[in-house]
Amino acid sequence: MKKIISSLALCSSLIVLPTISDAALGDKLLKEGMTDPDVKELQDVLRQKGIFSATSTGYFGSITKDSVLSFQRSHSLTADGIVGSNTYQALIANSTSTVTNGTLLKYGMTSNEVEKVQQLLKEKGYFNATPTGYFGTITQTAVMNFQRDHGLAVDGIVGPATLNALNNASSSFTGSSTVNSSTQATANDIVAYSKKFIGVPYVWGGTSPSGFDCSGFIYYVFKNGGGVTVPRTVATLYQSGKSTSTPNVGDIVFFDTTGGPSHAGIYIGNGQFIHAGSSTGVTIASLSNSYWAPRYLGSKSVF
C-alpha cells in the first residue's frame, strides 16, 4: 500500500526510490484521526459509491468515519468506522459477485455449518484444531490447502464446489508436492504474461491493467495468465502458500515493509522479481537490491 513516495533529483535525472512502505491494501487499518494518502484514495472510492460527498483530503475525520459506518451497515459488516480487511474486500468487490446458491462460508463467520466444515477438514487431515464454528485464519488456511490439493479455485471460501469435494474426498488425502512439467509451464506462462504490464501505474485497490496494487497485480496475472485463482491480499497469500527453500520461477516472494508480510511480487528467475511498487508501478527489481534484500521474508508456491 502506498505510504510515502520518495524521489531524488540528481544531475537532471529523476531517480524514483522505493517507498518506505509498500504494504498491501487490506493489510493496514485506516481509522479516525489518521492522515495518509490511502485515506484520500479511500475517500475517492466511497465517493464513487455515492457515500462520501466531501473533498478528498487524506484526513480521516468524522465525515469519513460516518461514510464508512454507513457503508459497513449497508453491507452487514461490523460497524466500527475502521477500514480493515473485511471492509476493504467489500469496497472493491465486483458488483456481479453475488451469492445465489446458498450461503458461502468464509473468514469471520460463526455458524454450525462452519463447525461441520472444520470437522470434515479434520477427518481429512487438514485441520488440527478443535472445531469451534468460528471461521478464522486456521480454518481459512486449511480450506486453501484442501482446495489446492483438489484442483479447486484457491480462495479460502467454502462454496458449492469446495463443499462437494469435502463431502466426497477420501479421508487423510495427501496432495503431491512435486512440481511437474504442467505446473512449470503454467508458471512460465504467468511470468511471460506479467511482463506485458511493465509500466502500468500503482493504484490503491487496483486489479486491472489501468492500475494495480501489489497483491492486485499478482491476483490478476495468475488468474488471466495461468488460470490460477489466488487470495487477494498479501496476508492471505502468505498464509496459503507452501514455503520453498529457494524461489522457483512463478513463486511469490514476500517482503516485510510495515511489520510482517506486507509486500509481494512474482519471482521471474535470475534473482529478479516483478511487482507493483507504489512509487514505480509494475516493474522488475532484484532481490539483492539494497532496499529489498533486508526486507525479504522468503518465497512460497501457490501451485
Active site residues: 214, 263, 275
Q: 269 and 249 in contact (C-beta within 8 Å)? A: yes
> Residue 80 in 3-state DSSP?
coil
266, 254 Cβ separation under 8 angstroms: no
Largest CA distance in the chain: 66
Could you give the 3-state DSSP secondary structure of residue 277?
strand
H-run or E-run covering 147: helix 137-149
What are the grid coordinates assigned to 161, written together?
464446489
Count of residues making up the chain = 303
Cβ-count burial of 99 within 10 angstroms (0-12 exposed, 13-18 middle, 19+ buried)?
Answer: exposed
Per-residue cell: 47: 465517493
Q: Are strands 242-244 and 211-212 parallel, antiparallel or unpaired?
A: unpaired
Is residue 257 helix, strand or coil?
coil
Q: What angle do CA 22, 298, 121 make, to 5 degrees?
A: 100
CA–CA separation, 200 and 280 (whole Å): 9
